Structure 1
Amino acid sequence: MRLPSPEVRATWPPANYENPETRGPALLIVQLIMLPIALIVLVLRFYVRIRIMGSIDADDWFMVAAALSGTGVTVSVILASSLYGWNLHIWDLKYENLVHNRKVTMAVQALFISATGCAKTSILLSYLRLAPRGSLFRKLAYAIIAFVALYNTAFAIVLFAQCQPTSSYWNILFSSRDCIPEGPPLLTHASLTVLADFLVWILPLPTLYRARLPLSQRIALIVLFSFGGVVVIGAILRLYWIWYVLERTYDITWEGFHLLIWTAVEVHLGVICGCVPWLKSLVKFWKNGGSTAAGYSHNQNGSRSLGKMAGSSKGGKLNAEEDGADFRRDRGAMFRMVSVNGKNLDSNDAYMDLDSNDGSSTVRLDVGAEPVNGK
């Protein structure tokens, strides 16, 4: 935190402790709208995973950690805004409130690391269900997971070690205060967060672009990835406001309002974007009256479709025959191999199944698909 010089403080108006100007309830409204939405879609995600899929995997638990950390962010912001003056001008703050303010600031930064890091990791682990083993997509997903873990861990260490003793982070008038400049680590972390959000957003786009999907699914994916774009925009705006608060103003509690708005957007929208894809499976499940059974269908576009297959989706192998076809699946994943008359088909070219995580599966086989690997 930059301390204003006596010349700067001389330009401030007199402190108003009785009836200070405030930012109003906008920040609380944003937090209290986005947090319940994030928690609701998380609960629905777990309903799908337990009731329909019959299993819970690592990506689900990472999303729980993200949602819990996001809840901590909201609680901290409400506490600081209501009690410690995060919605006031800095000249209307008493020193003791500024100390509490700094404590909450450190807590929010730590919770932000956990929330965004876990949300990205959860989404990337979910991507692995779309990625064939040994594919570039899969390797890039693992690389980005490692990148997210490394830069967040590094910043967490810097956050708690930047001041000696640590309490001098909030005791800004401490006589033996020894702190590194606060700006460079914050700006570096925010910049890397923008990069990570962008990478997570664009990583599946080439695979989905090549997929042969109905128009309705394409529209749904466009809407979903638009939300991902909002996360990226929110991260960019958060970076801007970090820079502004650190370098362009001493009224950090007043101008920090914008920073906290975009922090809420990034934290909670990350959870929402990571959980919304599961809701499609839930809608289909409810439309079928809680059943995963259906029949066969033949499409007019020259492809054959095996309708939804009844049975447990808890794991193992599902076998169904249509014109000599044999379908095998991994637990909770897409079909990784399709063989017709004993010949393996290239899964990227022959079909794309985005509905297999609802406890049933639809596989579309294009007539005339070419075998791969000479089999």
Structure 2
Amino acid sequence: MSNTTQSLTNDQLDMVAAVCINLSFLARKFWDSKTLDVVHAFSQFYLEYPNATDQQIIGFSGARLSDLDILRSFLGGSDEIRDSVDWVSSPDVSPYLPRTPGTGHILVPIFWVFTILTTTVLGLRLWSRQSIAGGIRTYDWIMVLGYVMTLAHGSTALYHAININTSSQFWDYSWNQIALQQAMYMALDVLYPFAALVIKCSLLLFYYNLSTSPARYLKITIWATFAFATATAIAAAGYSLFKCTPVAFWTEWFNSVCDSHQTIPYLATGSAMILADLIIWLMPVPLVMSLKLYRRERIAAVFTFSLGIL
């Protein structure tokens, strides 16, 4: 490999990240060490054993022979592994790797502002239901469940951003930290569609109970929207869960297979979820317009329902 300068290219940085990640998964004895430190440890090892055998590498790193064979096939042989290690550890590369701290702390005020706002609105809703509207209904409790799920998702995401995503570069993480990141990403991706679905269900049930005898078009629209939103949530969560084989792909890094076109499914399911939001937002408008209200009252009612777009 050619020497680098103090200004490393994006391709070179990608190569460093690939070497760090792949070598760290191989070295099971070093799963709690930063990936760059693992590369440096291998560099020292190769200084002592320039022609190290498989058994020596396995004894030093705790690697599985099957993983070592796969890594060697990726890189082209044992010499290429040693050359990659020497290149990353060289004084032309290692000292000049960028180290950018995580930015999760900027989410803290945003999280608390919206958590306080949401909690206040939900509290006022429950209070008004109990004191004015004759009691808390089923759809209110479903909304409470959606609030709890949303709070759990937001809290987990914030914890991940602050305490786990502490850097923007792979070489500043251990393999165990990388694995935990991937596990939490998956958990958040799976939880979010269902939290959103619960909130949608609360609104749909509320619309259904707006009158003792909902119009036929409203019944059909509510059930169709419920089916569409449910199918979308299941598809989004299912794809996030099964986009890789095995599901916990970070446990079998060299043998895992992941979908190489992940952008398209995420755009499709995300667009479908937004479409369901828009339908639910617009759904009560015809009903409100059909009510015998003064013009000012009708506009106020439409405006109130339109707040759901938030």
TM-score category by the smaller chain?
Answer: 0.5 to 0.7
Partner of 1:76: 156
For residues 276-331 of structure 1, give each alpha carbon's deviation from its aligned partner in whole angstroms, at most 9, with x where no partner exists. Answer: xxxxxxxxxxxxxxxxxxxxxxxxxxxxxxxxxxxxxxxxxxxxxxxxxxxxxxxx
Deviations 1:99-121 (A, max 9, x none): 22222211211221121111111
Structure 1 residue identity aligned to 2:144: V
> Are the counterparts in 1 of residues 142 and 198 from structure 2 also a CA contact under 8 Å?
yes
Give the total of aligned pairs: 220
Query: Structure 1 CA distance, aligned partners of 2:169 and 2:297?
Result: 50
- Counterpart of 2:173 (choices 88, 94, 97) is 94
How large is the RMSD of aligned CA atoms in angstroms? 2.9
Decide whether aligned partners of structure 1 residues 65 and 93 sit closer, same or farther in structure 2, where only a CA change above 3 A counts.
farther
Measured in 1, the distance between the counterparts of 2:257 and 2:209 equals 48
| 1:9 and 2:88 aligned | no
**1:1-375 map, 5 Å:** 7=12, 9=14, 14-16=97-99, 20-23=100-103, 25-85=105-165, 88-90=167-169, 93-96=172-175, 97-130=177-210, 132-168=213-249, 170-171=250-251, 174-181=253-260, 182-214=262-294, 217-218=297-298, 220-229=300-309, 231=310
Residues 35 and 70 of structure 1 are in contact (CA less than 8 Å); yes or no, is this contact kept in structure 2?
Answer: no
- Separation of aligned partners in 2, 1:187 and 1:84: 26
Q: 1:16-35, CA deviations, whole angstroms, 9 ceiling, x for partnerless residues?
A: 2xxx3443633221111112
Rounded to whole Å, the distance in 1 between the matches of 2:245 and 2:170 is: 27
Partners of 1:209 and 1:133 in 2: how far apart? 15
Query: What is the alpha-carbon distance in structure 2 between the residues aligned to residue 183 and residue 95 of structure 1?
Result: 27
- Comparing both structures, which one devotes a greater share of its residues to strand? 1
CA 1:22/1:221 → structure 2, altered by over 3 Å: closer, same or farther? farther
1:284 aligned partner: none
Does the CA contact (< 8 Å) of 1:128 and 1:141 recur in 2? yes
Work out the CA distance in 1 between the residues paired with 2:109 and 2:306: 23
Asked if the contact 1:127/1:204 (under 8 Å) is kept, the reply is yes
Closer, same or farther: CA 11–227 of 1 in aligned 2, 3 Å: farther
Alignment identity in percent? 22
Asked if the contact 1:22/1:89 (under 8 Å) is kept, the reply is: yes
Counterpart amino acid of residue 235 in structure 2: A
Whole-Å separation in 1 of the counterparts to 2:248 and 2:257: 10
Contact 1:60 1:122 in 2 (8 A): yes
Alpha-carbon contact 1:85-1:93 (below 8 Å) kept: no
Q: What amino acid is aligned across from residue 283 of structure 2 in structure 1? A: L
Please name the residue that 2:56 is paired with. Answer: none
Q: Distance in 1 between matches of 2:199 and 2:280?
A: 10
- C-alpha distance 50-183 of structure 1, shift in aligned 2 (>3 A): same
Distance in 2, matches of 1:46 and 1:226, equals 20
Which runs of 5 or more structure 2 residues have no equivalent in the other structure? 1-9, 18-95
Distance 1:226 1:8, change over 3 A: farther
3-state SS in 2 of match to 1:89: coil
Q: CA deviation at 1:134?
A: 4.5
Looking at structure 2, the residues matched to 174 and 157 of structure 1 have their Cα atoms a distance apart, in angstroms, of 21
Distance 1:84 1:213, change over 3 A: same
1:37-69: CA deviation from partner (whole Å, max 9, x where unpaired)? 222322332333334444443312321221111
Aligned amino acid, residue 175 of structure 1:
F
Partner residue, 2:40: none
- In 2, the alpha carbon distance for the partners of 1:209 and 1:98 equals 54
Structure 1: which 5+ residue stretches go unaligned? 232-375
The answer on whether the counterparts of 1:14 and 1:91 sit within 8 Å (CA) in structure 2 is: no
CA distance in 2, matches of 1:39, 1:30: 14
- TM-score, scaled to structure 2: 0.61
Distance 2:253 2:308 in 1: 43
Structure with the bigger percentage of helix: 2
Distance 2:216 2:122 in 1: 29
Aligned to 1:373: none
Preserved contact between residue 164 and residue 177 of structure 1 (Cα < 8 Å): yes
Change in 2 beyond 3 A, CA 1:105/1:220? farther
How far residue 6 of structure 1 moved from its aligned partner, in angstroms, is 5.1
Structure 2 CA distance for aligned equivalents of residues 9 and 91 of structure 1: 10
Matched residue of 1:25: which SS? Answer: helix
